[in-house]
Amino acid sequence: PGLHRFLASKEQFHAYLRARGEPGGQADGRGKEEEEEDEVEEKEKEEVGSCQNEPPAKRVRSEDLSQDGERREDAGAVEKEPAERKRARGQNKSRPCMKPNHYEQRRLCPSVTQGCAEKCYFGSQCRFLHDVGEYMAVKPADLGRSCVLFETFGKCIYGVTCRFAQVHLGDGYQNIVNTDLAKQWEGKSLVRNNLSKDLQHQLRKRKFIFKKADEYLRGLAKPHGSGGKGGKATGRSTEEQEVSNCTTPQEGLGDSPGCPVLPEQGEDPKPDTLQNPGPTGGEEASSVKTVGPVTDEDIIKLRSCEKKKLEIQGKLYLAPLTTCGNLPFRRICKRFGADVTCGEMAVCTNLLQGQSSEWALLKRHHTEDIFGVQLEGAFPDTMTKCAELLNQTIEVDFVDINVGCPIDLVYKKGGGCALMTRSNKFEQIVRGMNSVLDIPLTVKIRTGVQEKINVAHKIIPKIREWGASMVTLHGRSREQRYTRGADWDYIAECAKIASPMPLFGNGDILSYEDANRAMQMGVSGIMIARQVPVGALIKPWLFTEIKEQRHWDISSSERFDILKDFTNYGLEHWGSDTQGVEKTRKFLLEWLSFLCRYIPVGLLEHLPQKINERPPYYMGRDYLETLMASQNVDDWIKISELLLGPVPTSFTFLPKHKANSYR
């Protein structure tokens, strides 16, 4: 798709980057012999087939990856065991994991950083350093002379551990505070939905009271007439249906035989879990303490027509993006015009266990005016309880159920796309969550599980009847994953069936022309996601293009400024100490694994870029543009070093998601 004068061979492309973009190809005064030696080394690396040099999208099909994500070295082993040759789709399952002790052997105790070293919980047994002088002797060199936390908020809470500490350290390693700037931010909450220690303790000790969820689940557990095992749905009202549906350890009639019901992780394995009576009158009605007078809303259940409406028709919706849809990335998209944002997919059982890493996915920046969270689960008890938990403890505008996740880890447990084949459990989940939520409930689905068998049009009317406020339809099946084009004709058909319930379409939105065509299909709005060479991860400025109805030939320096803003947001969110810097680097590299697929508008022979077109090797209009087009992991690391300084010793990186969307 690129202009012929920019096209290059693989050898020319990498030679240009090695030469740092200087004419003649001999940068840093290197001679011809050294260049030849480098070429030999490069060929040897390619023969070895390191997983970090070339992602799978650029490799020959005969060099496919095995299931554990590592390249096969012995071709004879493949011939002996052809049955085990399986493509690891969507994930690099054995990628290296860098832990904090890999890049910082001797760390300062957090109690010292917070100015309360005498209150260290571990006392003399603490394995961290308590002597600031000793820590400063082994601390890695600072990365720059500008601390984003100090310049923005007037104070850096990381003190001496900050990798930009030279800006705000005084005599005796004292942390300097800009009092005037700090007062401006005093009392303001920039990030909401944090997990408090008290709530985490209640969840871990199972002391959180789920009053509404327990009431709903007891209704499911009651046998009603000769309803049988599954309590198959009828045309009765919601209240009657809640009584008739019976949740038992056996599988429901509408469930797939391949997905047996098992106790979810973190749930009580006792068989009488659902039959246990609710809290007695002497117990606390809710674990969340409230103040002020009692109102009708506190004692009277809202009817569905009285719930808050989700008015987002015609707005641009940033899809929940696993791994890359973090808070700093969402801030970037909000700046470019995204109207609705959603947190990354959170597993309900992990939230119910009080896992800090899972609760971090629910955090909301104050600039996100319309924000929702997405939950994944396979059973009505855990999903309903999780919905009530979030309804009481965090501030969100809607909750979304993930019924579109195609990965095996989720599907084989009965969640994600598997719920489309387990209609009984699907109904119990939607009705249960809707009964305990005071905010709208939405559902994200695919066209179906199998490639040529669409079932969404049969499920959407049921979802509307069960009480969902909106449906988002991804125009691909589970078997397609993120390959081939989305079926927008089918999405248009489903939009008519869904009416009057809003239906958002999702898939293959790369330009404002694609967005215009999608809106003409009759959908209420469009969701912009990530996979295949499209979407917000490839070009976050897509929201601006759609709103301004133009193609933006964004320069490499402008794109680099976007990356710079992302790193600043990342240092604000994850911290400016060594651990925070490396976490920011990790998520930056994950994002760069998508950004490299973007082809600048000025290099295209025809607009817009077509779906699933594999970008060829091309030379950019300057060195930075060429560097950003590289699909070599080492070049992504080089970009991260321009922003976050040199990587730690023995640093390794392999992207979580494979580029399997090209055909």
What confidence score (pLDDT) does residue 6 get?
A: 81
| 157 Cα distance to chain centroid | 27
Instruction: Give 345-406 as a DSSP string.
Output: EEEHHHHHTT-HHHHGGG-EETT-SSEEEEEE-SSHHHHHHHHHHHHHH---SEEEEEE---
CA-based end-to-end distance of the chain: 15
Whether residue 87 contacts residue 65, with contact meaning beta carbons closer than 8 Å, is answered with yes
- Condensed to tens digits (0 to 9), the pLDDT of residues 294-340 reads 666 556 666 666 667 788 988 999 999 888 999 999 999 999 999 99
- Condensed to tens digits (0 to 9), the pLDDT of residues 477-503 reads 998 876 678 899 999 999 999 999 999
Checking if the pLDDT of 29 tops 70, the result is: no
Contacts of 81 (CB under 8 A, 6+ apart): none
Checking if the pLDDT of 353 tops 90, the result is: yes
Chain mean pLDDT for the chain: 79
* % of the chain with per-residue pLDDT over 70: 71
Closest residue by Cα to residue 530 from 314, 323, 315 = 323
Whether residue 450 contacts residue 477, with contact meaning beta carbons closer than 8 Å, is answered with yes
What confidence score (pLDDT) does residue 213 get?
A: 95
In whole angstroms, how large is the CA radius of gyration of the chain? 27
Over 614-644, what HEC string results? CCCCECCCCHHHHHHCCCCHHHHHHHHHHHH
pLDDT (mean) for 358-383 = 96
Strand 316-318 and strand 525-528: the pairing is: parallel
Contacts of 325 (CB under 8 A, 6+ apart): 318, 319, 342, 343, 344, 530
What confidence score (pLDDT) does residue 28 get?
A: 41
Specify which of 17-21, 73-77, 346-350, 407-411 reaches the highest per-range mean pLDDT.
Answer: 346-350
What confidence score (pLDDT) does residue 178 get?
A: 93
* % of the chain with per-residue pLDDT over 90: 48
- Condensed to tens digits (0 to 9), the pLDDT of residues 95-121 reads 666 676 677 778 898 888 887 767 888
Of 129-138, 218-227, 631-640, the one with minimum mean pLDDT is: 218-227
What confidence score (pLDDT) does residue 333 get?
A: 95
Distance, in Å, from the CA atom of 617 to the CA atom of 626, rounded to the nearest integer, reads 9
Joined together, the tokens standing for residue 497 give 């069936």
Beta bridge partners of 401: 375, 443
**Which residue spans within 184-294 are E strands per DSSP?**
191-192
Tokens 């009277």 found at? 300
Strand 364-365 and strand 191-192: the pairing is: antiparallel
What confidence score (pLDDT) does residue 87 get?
A: 52
Distance, in Å, from the CA atom of 617 to the CA atom of 9, rounded to the nearest integer, reads 6
What confidence score (pLDDT) does residue 399 get?
A: 97
| Residue 246: pLDDT band with limits 50, 70, 90 | very low
Among 162, 342, 405, 596, the one annotated catalytic:
405
The continuous run of DSSP H or E covering 514 comes out as: helix 512-519
Checking if the pLDDT of 372 tops 60, the result is: yes
Checking if the pLDDT of 31 tops 50, the result is: no
What confidence score (pLDDT) does residue 613 get?
A: 66
pLDDT, greater one: 398 or 528: 398
Distance, in Å, from the CA atom of 15 to the CA atom of 13, rounded to the nearest integer, reads 6
**Which residue spans within 117-158 are E strands per DSSP?**
none
Joined together, the tokens standing for residue 193 give 């939905």
Distance, in Å, from the CA atom of 414 to the CA atom of 433, rounded to the nearest integer, reads 17
Beta bridge partners of 471: 443, 503
Closest residue by Cα to residue 213 from 294, 279, 295, 266 = 279
The continuous run of DSSP H or E covering 497 comes out as: helix 488-498
Of 6-20, 155-169, 513-527, the one with minimum mean pLDDT is: 6-20
Q: Number of helices (H) and strands (E), helices first, in the chain?
A: 26, 10
What confidence score (pLDDT) does residue 309 get?
A: 78
- Maximum Cα–Cα distance across the chain: 88
Distance, in Å, from the CA atom of 19 to the CA atom of 32, rounded to the nearest integer, reads 12
Active site residue 405: yes
Whether residue 286 contacts residue 209, with contact meaning beta carbons closer than 8 Å, is answered with yes
What confidence score (pLDDT) does residue 241 get?
A: 42
DSSP conformation class of 224: -
The continuous run of DSSP H or E covering 317 comes out as: strand 316-318
Distance, in Å, from the CA atom of 539 to the CA atom of 556, rounded to the nearest integer, reads 12
Checking if the pLDDT of 261 tops 80, the result is: no
Checking if the pLDDT of 653 tops 80, the result is: yes
- Condensed to tens digits (0 to 9), the pLDDT of residues 208-228 reads 999 999 999 999 887 654 444
